[in-house]
Structure 1
Amino acid sequence: MRIELGQEEPPEIGLIALIDCIFFLLMFFMVATSFKQPPNPKKQAELPISLPAAQASLQADEAGEAPLVIGVDKSGELYLDGAPVSTQVLHGRLKIEAAANPGRRVRIDGDQLARYQDIVHVLDLCQFERLTNISMHTRGAQ
Structure 2
Amino acid sequence: MNFHHRRNEEPEINLIPFIDVLLVILIFLMLSTTYSKFTELKVNLPVADAEKSRDYPREVIVSVAADGRYVVNRKPVDGRSVELLAAEMRAAAGNGKDTIVIVSADATAAHQSVINVMDAARRAGLSQLTFATQSSNGGR
CA-based RMSD: 2.2
- How many correspondences in the alignment? 89
What secondary structure sits across from 1:114 in the alignment? coil
1:68–1:80 contact (8 Å) kept in structure 2: yes
- Give the 3 Å change call, closer, same or farther, for CA 70–60 of structure 1 in structure 2: same
Aligned to 1:65: 57
In structure 1, distance between residues paired with 2:86 and 2:123? 9
1:54–1:141 contact (8 Å) kept in structure 2: no
In structure 1, distance between residues paired with 2:46 and 2:93? 29
- Give the 3 Å change call, closer, same or farther, for CA 57–130 of structure 1 in structure 2: farther
- Give the 3 Å change call, closer, same or farther, for CA 99–66 of structure 1 in structure 2: closer
Please, which runs of 5 or more residues in structure 1 have no aligned partner?
Answer: 1-52
Q: Relative contact order (C-alpha < 8 Å, sep 6+): which is higher?
A: 1
Please, which runs of 5 or more residues in structure 2 have no aligned partner?
Answer: 1-44
2:66–2:107 contact (8 Å) kept in structure 1: yes
1:80 to 60, 72, 87: 72
* TM value normalised by structure 1: 0.54
Cα deviations across residues 58-94 of structure 1 (Å, max 9, x unaligned)?
Answer: 33222x4152111111100011122221344432132
* TM value normalised by structure 2: 0.55
Aligned to 2:128: 133
What secondary structure sits across from 1:140 in the alignment? coil
- Give the 3 Å change call, closer, same or farther, for CA 103–97 of structure 1 in structure 2: farther
Displacement after TM superposition at 1:105 (Å): 1.1
Does 2:115 match 1:120? yes
Aligned to 1:55: 47
In structure 1, distance between residues paired with 2:94 and 2:64? 24
Displacement after TM superposition at 1:54 (Å): 4.5
* Structure 2 counterpart of 1:128, one-letter code: R
In structure 1, distance between residues paired with 2:58 and 2:124? 19
